[in-house]
């Protein structure tokens, strides 16, 4: 599936304004999508239909709340797509584990490192940390922190 | 001489002979274990582009003695939840029957402790004790890994006994006797291995399986079950299992030599050499053991169900067919 | 008057723990298995025994200071991780790398790939019970380690790449040693194929064992030899060419069924392809500088960036969020063994315990890169 197919499927779910093309040579991805927490499942379904696989789920902590980045790629052509979901502290997201099995472990990792809960996740327990850990290490108010910024400082919006 | 006379008067000639023989067998088994451990390590090393033991003694010969001292000096730990009596019994039960089997092996023309007319049957009867002892050891250890190992060992040993006995039956038919010295005597012109090479091959494969050597060493597969049925054993108890395995290899190779390769008779054509029968016997036995070690370090191991399938679907039909064919041949010849 | 009967025993499963200390789970992996006799009903890999917090460390270290950490994540393919990280930052900052440095990086990365595959080969066959090929492959691997030691200073965990190039130049001795090594490894293929690939017992242990087909592999995000053995010719070096791979000529070996034997053959052929790449790179090695002039503390512009390379185990990606200072704001390493390990939860149920070893070995997991 080419990038155009993916764009077409995604345009049914998110507004065209939220789909920002990126420079592959510099940024490593072709398209960036800003989604809201409720749109995540639909976006994942669209990516599945476009024959993409889930490459990674990362999260970053900002002063205005953590942000989850879903990364989809396809093995037939370069089509790395970043889906950015800005959350507020304490907000939870629907798990896409029923769509992509790879998400199960990525979501567990994001949960234990950032404290973001995933609804409908079949088995949300800690993956890398000990089971009885009660802290979320990668949040910017834990441990040695060099900088704590807002999304505006980094992305300019 | 006077001491010998006293012993004979006290026990009676037969019993005295057996006692002396058993002492000699004990000595043989210990020296054999010493030598075999060294041989295995050296052969394995050279196959693997290494050298093996070389520090202790010339060519590392004394390495085994030093390892034995280390094992003897270790604390005998008995874990808390084991069945104490059975736990202690298992290594002993594994080792003792092997000693008894040596009573009927013809080391040379006159070096035979007791020439029983069912000598072969005695050997196979006592080799089944091994299975029982392994099961007892695995069960008594109160450990899932040990139990898995012991169960597999029992299944494997019991399964491979059948083709073993069937091939030996062919040899017995051919030489018309179960007496070990008679079997050797019937090979005075041609060794049995030239008459029935398939039987020799089947016997050797079953022998590898009976002694739990690779590629049939699932019960003690290190990488799968840590150490199988002897996971919980340490120190001298572990050494006894080891000793039993090497003694078993010696027995099995000695029986193969007697049944197929002419026992203590010289290589065909080299009868003029002034070499005593004992040397020929040991040369052939250790050659077979060398082949067993060679096979161990070359092949990976079979998965358990593949092992059992191999026995039930290939070995047993082959052995049965062999038996029927040779029964027919014997009938035709006579 | 009713009699009381015992509840009939319907479930005879028991739990077996292939614990963190086990001769076959390479690294500290714990497999929590639910067994029914010899068959696996459920498999749950438990990881985290080697979690060192590399990503948190990245946030309080300079970009230059984090470079050694990348090697420790996957210690068997340390140079490839180095390369990926360094190239990610270079792309962000717009640093141009001189061609000689690019070729040197490619040669060392491919040597590293071969050494990782050789180690996998030895340990895989050793797990199956054949102890000898392990020593042969380590003998070959020693040569690679010596070559890389001479040029980078370390045998296993390298910090050889720098922003803008590499730290030290290669000399003629390196080139002759590499040529000798290529010849020597090529002469070994016969030994390996005769001893292992054509061995009936090995084929029985690896054929039709642990089939991971295309659909399962993509669902779990597996990349690398697993995906290629399932028939998908996806290799980051061809799909998203980086460094000088677009100028070099090599093939992507693929399999058909996705069983352990296919994965084994794919990796052996990959080693041969790597030798081919190294030969071409050595031939074309240009003269010139080995490092571009780069500011003392590199300061990438604000924004987020992603860069992917092909490691011995699959696609490795570095996702870096920068706030304009010389410290990364967030660094996420996307590691291939994550998906590769997770696929066990789908592949293991229904197989025998003895096959676990074969499947685990054929997937080639390095647990520290999963744990980071």
Q: Give residue-wise pLDDT tens across range A132-156.
A: 888 888 888 888 787 888 877 777 7
Q: Tell me if chain C has a CB within 8 Å of the CB of A102.
A: yes
Lowest mean pLDDT among A3-12, A93-102, C55-64, C256-265: A3-12
The CA-based angle B176-B182-B184, given to 5 degrees, is 110
Is the Cβ–Cβ distance between C48 and C371 less than 8 Å?
yes
* Alpha carbon of A22: minimum distance to chain C alpha carbons (Å): 10
The predicted-structure confidence for C2-60, as pLDDT tens digits, reads as follows 555 566 555 677 787 877 766 666 778 888 888 887 788 888 888 888 888 888 888 88
Answer yes or no: is C1 within a domain: no
Write down the pLDDT at residue C1: 45
Instruction: Please tell me what DSSP assigns to residue B211.
Output: T
Q: Tell me if chain B has a CB within 8 Å of the CB of C40.
A: no
List the single best residue of B46, B209, B223 to mutate versus C (max C Cβ within 10 A): B223
What mean pLDDT do residues A106-135 have? 87
B221 to chain C: closest CA residue: C129
A110 to chain C: closest CA residue: C332
Write down the pLDDT at residue A18: 75
CA C43 to chain centre: 23
Which residues does chain B have within 8 Å of residue C135's beta carbon, measured at their own beta carbons? Answer: 48-50
Q: Tell me whether residues B301 and C24 touch, CB distance under 8 A.
A: no
Question: To the nearest whole percent, how much of chain C has pLDDT over 70?
Answer: 96
What mean pLDDT do residues B98-102 have? 85
Answer yes or no: is C304 within a domain: yes
**Strand C161-162 to C39-46 pairing:** unpaired
* Alpha carbon of A88: minimum distance to chain C alpha carbons (Å): 18
Number of domains in chain A: 1
* Alpha carbon of B300: minimum distance to chain C alpha carbons (Å): 4
Is the Cβ–Cβ distance between A82 and A71 less than 8 Å?
yes
**Strand C39-46 to A65-73 pairing:** unpaired
Is the Cβ–Cβ distance between B312 and B159 less than 8 Å?
yes
Q: How far is CA A129 from CA B31, B133, C134, C224, C319, in A?
A: 54, 45, 34, 27, 22
Which residues does chain C have within 8 Å of residue B223's beta carbon, measured at their own beta carbons? Answer: 23-24, 126-129, 357
The predicted-structure confidence for B174-203, as pLDDT tens digits, reads as follows 888 888 888 888 887 788 888 888 889 999
Q: Which chains sit next to B, with 3 or more Cβ pairs under 8 A? A: C
Distance CA B134, CA B92 (A): 11
Beta-carbon neighbour count of residue B276 at 10 Å? 12
Answer yes or no: is C277 within a domain: yes
pTM value is 0.86
List the single best residue of A20, A22, A33, A53 to mutate versus C (max C Cβ within 10 A): A53
Q: Tell me whether residues A156 and C302 touch, CB distance under 8 A.
A: yes
Helix, strand, or coil (residue C328): strand
List the single best residue of A59, A61, A73, A152 to mutate versus C (max C Cβ within 10 A): A73
Interface A–C counts its CB contacts (< 8 A) at 117
Q: Tell me whether residues A55 and C227 touch, CB distance under 8 A.
A: no
Here the tokens at position C217 are 């592999």
Distance CA B322, CA B325 (A): 5
Lowest mean pLDDT among A75-79, B90-94, C127-131, C212-216: A75-79
Write down the pLDDT at residue B224: 55
Q: Tell me if chain B has a CB within 8 Å of the CB of C22.
A: yes
Q: Tell me whether residues C53 and A105 touch, CB distance under 8 A.
A: no
Write down the pLDDT at residue B128: 85
Q: Tell me if chain B has a CB within 8 Å of the CB of C208.
A: no
Answer yes or no: is A41 within a domain: yes
Kindly report the three-state secondary structure assignment for every residue of C246-277: HHCCCCCCCCCCCCHHHHHHHHHHHHHHHHHH
Is the Cβ–Cβ distance between C328 and C97 less than 8 Å?
no
Answer yes or no: is A48 within a domain: yes
Instruction: Find the CB nearest C334 among A56, A130, A143.
Output: A56
Domain with A7, as residue range(s), is 3-126
Number of domains in chain C: 1
Domain with C116, as residue range(s), is 55-371
Write down the pLDDT at residue C75: 87
Is the Cβ–Cβ distance between A77 and A2 less than 8 Å?
yes
Distance CA A79, CA A32 (A): 11
Answer yes or no: is C23 within a domain: no
Mean pLDDT of chain B: 83
Write down the pLDDT at residue C364: 85
CATH of the domain at A111: 3.30.460.80
B215 to chain C: closest CA residue: C129
Residues 6+ away with beta carbon under 8 Å from C169 = C104, C290
Answer yes or no: is A40 within a domain: yes
Which residues does chain A have within 8 Å of residue C88's beta carbon, measured at their own beta carbons? Answer: 28
Answer yes or no: is A84 within a domain: yes
Answer yes or no: is C29 within a domain: no
Give the helix/strand (H/E) hosting C104.
helix C99-127
Burial class for C290, CB neighbours closer than 10 Å (0-12, 13-18, 19+): buried
The DSSP-derived string for C185-221 is HHHHHHHHIIIIIT-HHHHHHHTTSS---HHHHHHTT
Q: Of residues B79 and C142, which shows the higher confidence score? A: C142
Is the Cβ–Cβ distance between A71 and A31 less than 8 Å?
no
Please determine, for residue B317, whether its predicted confidence score (pLDDT) is greater than 90.
Answer: yes
Write down the pLDDT at residue C114: 93
Answer yes or no: is C124 within a domain: yes
C330 to chain A: closest CA residue: A60
Q: Tell me whether residues C303 and A154 touch, CB distance under 8 A.
A: yes
What mean pLDDT do residues B43-71 have? 84
Question: To the nearest whole percent, how much of chain B has pLDDT over 90?
Answer: 12
Distance CA B256, CA B135 (A): 26
Q: Tell me if chain A has a CB within 8 Å of the CB of C372.
A: yes
Please determine, for residue B120, whether its predicted confidence score (pLDDT) is greater than 90.
Answer: no
Contact map slice: C 240-269 vs B, CB within 8 A: none
What mean pLDDT do residues C110-137 have? 89
Q: Tell me if chain C has a CB within 8 Å of the CB of A124.
A: no
Which residues does chain B have within 8 Å of residue C205's beta carbon, measured at their own beta carbons? Answer: 300, 302-303, 306
* Alpha carbon of C49: minimum distance to chain A alpha carbons (Å): 7
What mean pLDDT do residues C174-194 have? 90
Which residues does chain C have within 8 Å of residue B302's beta carbon, measured at their own beta carbons? Answer: 201, 204-205
Q: Tell me whether residues A26 and C53 touch, CB distance under 8 A.
A: no
Helix, strand, or coil (residue B188): coil
What mean pLDDT do residues B66-90 have? 81
Answer yes or no: is A157 within a domain: no
Distance CA C189, CA C273 (A): 13
pLDDT band for position C113 (50/70/90)? Answer: very high
> φ and ψ at B80, to 5 degrees?
-70, -40
Query: Does C contact B via 3+ CB–CB distances below 8 Å?
Result: yes
* Alpha carbon of A41: minimum distance to chain C alpha carbons (Å): 16
Write down the pLDDT at residue A134: 85
Here the tokens at position C203 are 């084929």
Instruction: Find the CB nearest C48 among A58, A60, A129.
Output: A129
Could you give the ipTM of this predicted complex? 0.90
The DSSP-derived string for B232-243 is S--HHHHHHHHH
The DSSP-derived string for A54-110 is EEEEEEEEETTEEEEEEEEE-SSS---EEEEEE--TT--EE--TTT-TTHHHHHHHH
Query: Does B contact A via 3+ CB–CB distances below 8 Å?
Result: no
Q: Of residues B298 and B81, which shows the higher confidence score? A: B298
Which residues does chain C have within 8 Å of residue A136's beta carbon, measured at their own beta carbons? Answer: none
Q: Tell me if chain C has a CB within 8 Å of the CB of A152.
A: no
Write down the pLDDT at residue C153: 87
Q: Tell me whether residues C302 and A126 touch, CB distance under 8 A.
A: no
Distance CA A98, CA A122 (A): 9
What mean pLDDT do residues A23-37 have? 82
Which residues does chain C have within 8 Å of residue B309's beta carbon, measured at their own beta carbons? Answer: none
Is the Cβ–Cβ distance between C57 and C66 less than 8 Å?
yes
Distance CA B255, CA B276 (A): 19
Please determine, for residue B223, whether its predicted confidence score (pLDDT) is greater than 70.
Answer: no
Q: Tell me if chain A has a CB within 8 Å of the CB of C321.
A: yes
- Cα–Cα nearest to C77, from C365, C279, C319, C282: C365
Instruction: Find the CB nearest B49 among C125, C130, C136.
Output: C136
Lowest mean pLDDT among A44-58, A120-134, A140-154: A140-154
Instruction: Please tell me what DSSP assigns to residue C97.
Output: P
Which residues does chain A have within 8 Å of residue C94's beta carbon, measured at their own beta carbons? Answer: 26
C133 to chain B: closest CA residue: B48
Please determine, for residue B101, whether its predicted confidence score (pLDDT) is greater than 70.
Answer: yes
Mean pLDDT of chain C: 87
Q: Tell me whether residues A104 and C342 touch, CB distance under 8 A.
A: yes
Q: Tell me if chain C has a CB within 8 Å of the CB of A145.
A: yes
Answer yes or no: is A89 within a domain: yes
Please determine, for residue B231, whether its predicted confidence score (pLDDT) is greater than 60.
Answer: yes
Answer yes or no: is A140 within a domain: no
Answer yes or no: is A154 within a domain: no
Helix, strand, or coil (residue C372): coil
Lowest mean pLDDT among A121-135, B262-276, C85-99: B262-276
Please report which residue ranges of chain B form alpha helices under DSSP H. 2-11, 13-47, 63-72, 84-101, 119-127, 129-140, 144-175, 180-185, 192-195, 197-210, 222-225, 235-260, 277-296, 304-309, 316-333
What are the b/e assignments for C159-187, b being 16+ CB within 10 Å?
A: bbbbbbbbebebeeebeebbeebbeebee
Q: Of residues B232 and B45, which shows the higher confidence score? A: B45
What mean pLDDT do residues A14-25 have? 77
Write down the pLDDT at residue B291: 92
Helix, strand, or coil (residue B13): helix
Distance CA C363, CA C347 (A): 11
Answer yes or no: is C45 within a domain: no
Q: Tell me if chain B has a CB within 8 Å of the CB of C199.
A: yes
Interface B–C counts its CB contacts (< 8 A) at 73
CATH of the domain at C194: 1.10.645.10
Distance CA C134, CA C361 (A): 13
Lowest mean pLDDT among A103-107, A120-124, C251-255, C317-321: A120-124
- Cα–Cα nearest to C264, from C161, C125, C77, C88: C125
Distance CA C284, CA B147 (A): 60
Write down the pLDDT at residue B316: 92
The CA-based angle B223-B228-B229, given to 5 degrees, is 170
Instruction: Find the CB nearest B223 among C38, C202, C357.
Output: C357
Answer yes or no: is C113 within a domain: yes
The predicted-structure confidence for B12-21, as pLDDT tens digits, reads as follows 777 877 788 8
- Interface of chain B against chain C, CB under 8 Å? 44, 47-50, 144, 148, 214-215, 217-218, 221-224, 226, 297-306
């Amino acid at each position: 599936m080419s990038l155009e197919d993916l764009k077409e499927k995604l345009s049914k779910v998110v507004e065209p304004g939220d789909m920002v093309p990126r420079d592959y040579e510099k940024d490593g991805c072709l398209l960036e999508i800003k989604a809201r927490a409720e749109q995540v499942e639909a976006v994942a379904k669209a990516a599945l239909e476009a024959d993409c696989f889930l490459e990674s789920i990362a999260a970053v902590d900002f002063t205005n709340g953590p942000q989850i980045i879903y990364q989809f790629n396809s093995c037939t052509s370069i089509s790395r797509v970043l889906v950015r979901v800005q959350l507020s502290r304490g907000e939870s997201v629907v798990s896409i584990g029923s769509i992509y099995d790879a998400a199960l472990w990525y979501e567990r990792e994001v949960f234990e490192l950032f404290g973001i809960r995933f609804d409908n996740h079949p088995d949300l327990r800690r993956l890398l940390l000990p089971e009885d850990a009660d802290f979320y290490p990668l949040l910017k108010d834990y441990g040695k922190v060099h900088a704590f910024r807002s999304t505006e400082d980094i992305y300019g919006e | 001489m006077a001491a010998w006379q006293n012993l004979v008067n006290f026990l009676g000639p037969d019993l005295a002979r057996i006692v002396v023989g058993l002492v000699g067998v004990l000595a043989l088994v210990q020296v054999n274990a010493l030598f075999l451990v060294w041989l295995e390590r050296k052969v394995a090393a050279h196959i693997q582009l290494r050298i093996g033991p070389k520090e202790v003694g010339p060519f590392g010969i004394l390495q085994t003695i030093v390892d034995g001292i280390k094992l003897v000096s270790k604390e005998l730990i008995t874990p808390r939840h084991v069945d104490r009596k059975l736990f202690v019994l298992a290594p002993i039960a594994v080792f003792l029957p092997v000693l008894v089997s040596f009573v009927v092996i013809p080391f040379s023309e006159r070096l035979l402790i007791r020439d029983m007319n069912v000598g072969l049957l005695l050997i196979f009867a006592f080799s089944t004790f091994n299975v029982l002892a392994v099961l007892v050891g695995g069960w008594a250890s109160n450990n899932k890994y040990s139990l898995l190992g012991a169960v597999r060992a029992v299944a494997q040993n019991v399964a491979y006994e059948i083709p073993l006995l069937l091939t030996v039956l062919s040899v017995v038919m051919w030489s018309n006797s179960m007496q070990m010295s008679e079997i050797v005597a019937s090979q005075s012109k041609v060794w049995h291995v030239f008459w029935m090479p398939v039987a020799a091959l089947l016997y050797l494969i079953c022998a590898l399986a009976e002694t739990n050597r690779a590629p049939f060493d699932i019960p003690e597969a290190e990488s799968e079950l840590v150490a199988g049925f002897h996971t919980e054993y340490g120190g001298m108890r572990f050494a006894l299992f080891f000793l039993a395995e090497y003694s078993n290899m010696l027995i099995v190779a000695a029986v193969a030599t007697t049944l197929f390769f002419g026992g203590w008779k010289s290589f065909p054509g080299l009868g003029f050499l002034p070499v005593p029968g004992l040397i020929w016997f040991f040369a052939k036995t250790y050659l077979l053991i060398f082949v067993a070690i060679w096979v161990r370090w070359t092949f990976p191991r079979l998965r358990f169900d593949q092992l059992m399938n191999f026995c039930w679907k290939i070995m047993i039909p082959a052995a049965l067919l062999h038996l029927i064919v040779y029964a027919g041949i014997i009938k035709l010849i006579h | 008057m009713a009699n009381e009967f015992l509840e009939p025993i319907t479930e005879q499963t028991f739990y077996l723990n292939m614990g963190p200390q086990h001769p076959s789970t390479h690294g500290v992996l714990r497999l929590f298995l639910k067994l029914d006799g010899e068959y696996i009903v459920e498999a749950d890999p438990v990881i985290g025994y080697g979690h060192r917090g590399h990503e948190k460390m990245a946030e309080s270290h300079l970009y230059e200071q984090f470079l050694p950490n990348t090697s420790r994540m996957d210690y068997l393919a340390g140079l490839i991780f180095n390369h990926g990280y360094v190239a990610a930052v270079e792309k962000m900052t717009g640093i141009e790398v001189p061609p000689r440095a690019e070729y040197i990086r490619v040669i060392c990365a491919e040597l590293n790939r071969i050494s990782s595959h050789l180690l996998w080969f030895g340990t895989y066959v050793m797990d199956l019970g054949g102890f000898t090929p392990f020593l042969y492959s380590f003998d070959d691997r020693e040569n690679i380690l010596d070559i890389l030691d001479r040029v980078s200073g370390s045998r296993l965990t390298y910090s050889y790449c720098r922003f803008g190039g590499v730290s030290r130049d290669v000399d003629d001795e390196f080139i002759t040693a590499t040529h000798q090594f290529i010849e020597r490894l090529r002469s070994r293929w016969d030994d390996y194929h005769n001893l292992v690939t054509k061995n009936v017992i090995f084929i029985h242990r690896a054929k039709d064992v642990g089939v991971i087909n295309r659909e399962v592999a993509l669902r779990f995000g597996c990349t690398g030899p697993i995906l290629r053995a399932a028939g998908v010719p996806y290799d980051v070096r061809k799909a998203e060419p980086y460094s000088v791979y677009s100028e070099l000529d090599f093939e992507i070996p693929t399999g058909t069924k996705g069983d352990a034997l296919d994965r084994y053959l794919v990796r052996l052929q990959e080693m041969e392809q790597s030798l081919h790449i190294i030969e071409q790179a050595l031939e074309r090695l240009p003269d010139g500088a080995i490092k571009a002039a780069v500011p003392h503390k590199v300061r990438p512009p604000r924004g987020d960036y992603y860069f992917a390379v092909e490691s011995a185990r699959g696609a490795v990606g570095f996702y870096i969020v920068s706030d304009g200072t010389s410290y990364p704001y967030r660094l996420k390493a996307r590691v291939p063994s994550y998906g590769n390990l997770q696929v066990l939860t789908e592949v293991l149920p229904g197989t025998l315990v003895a096959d676990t070893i074969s499947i685990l070995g054929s997937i080639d997991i390095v647990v520290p890169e999963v744990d980071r």
